[in-house]
Amino acid sequence: MTPLKTGLLALAFSFTPITEMAMEEDAPPVSAPTLSLVMEGVVDIGIPRQMGESPNGVRREIPITGGTFSGPEFAATVLPGGSDWQLQRADGGLEIVADYTLQTEDGVFIRVINEGVSYPASDDRARYTMTTPRFIAPEGRYGWLNEAVFVGTLRVSGDTPPKILIGVYRAE
């Protein structure tokens, strides 16, 4: 058998479980996920550093200097040293990639990578800001953070200096 045929067969067999799932006649219909609040955060930020113009837009970094998260199964402090990397695009959109570390009240470290977009309000819509936080937690008490998809909301507080207010919801 030629390498091309071997590769095509391997590719076809790799999709077999997905295809079989899709063909199940007694499978329940696909439904929209529901969201349940997992935690809320207040994140302290530093002075933005303008990185300058890039081929994709204007980049800036906003230091993450502290804060807290709390929820029914969760309480943590935001450790200083993280950053919110932003790209201001020509279409007015803002790409967000925040990377920081939480320390839970029982001393466990959890990495957070929170990516999303923000678009300013216009005549026909309100400001839109949504993220998809991803957690990297050790196995054990917080292992559930590795096993779900989360949706985040965020807004800037009216405080001086401003804080970032974050809501984290589990999609189920």
**So where are the chain's domains?**
31-171
The CATH number given to 31-171 is: 2.40.160.20
Handedness of CA 10, 15, 19, 21 (dihedral sign): positive
Specify which residues 118 forms β-bridges with: 94, 129
- Of 112, 144, 146, 147, nearest in space to 131 by CA: 112
3-state secondary structure of 145: helix
Q: Dmax over Cα atoms in the chain, in whole Å?
A: 69
**pLDDT given for residue 29 in this prediction:** 82
Phi/psi for 30 (5° steps) reads -70, 135
- The pTM score is 0.81
Q: Report the share of the chain in percent with pLDDT over 70.
A: 85
Extract the tokens encoding 58. Answer: 């204007």
Question: What radius of gyration do the chain's Cα atoms show?
Answer: 21
Q: Model confidence over 32-44: pLDDT tens digits?
A: 999 999 999 999 9
Q: Which residues contact 140 (CB under 8 A, 6 or more apart)?
A: 108
Q: Model confidence over 44-93: pLDDT tens digits?
A: 999 999 999 999 999 999 999 999 999 998 999 999 999 999 999 999 99
Extract the tokens encoding 124. Answer: 């026909």
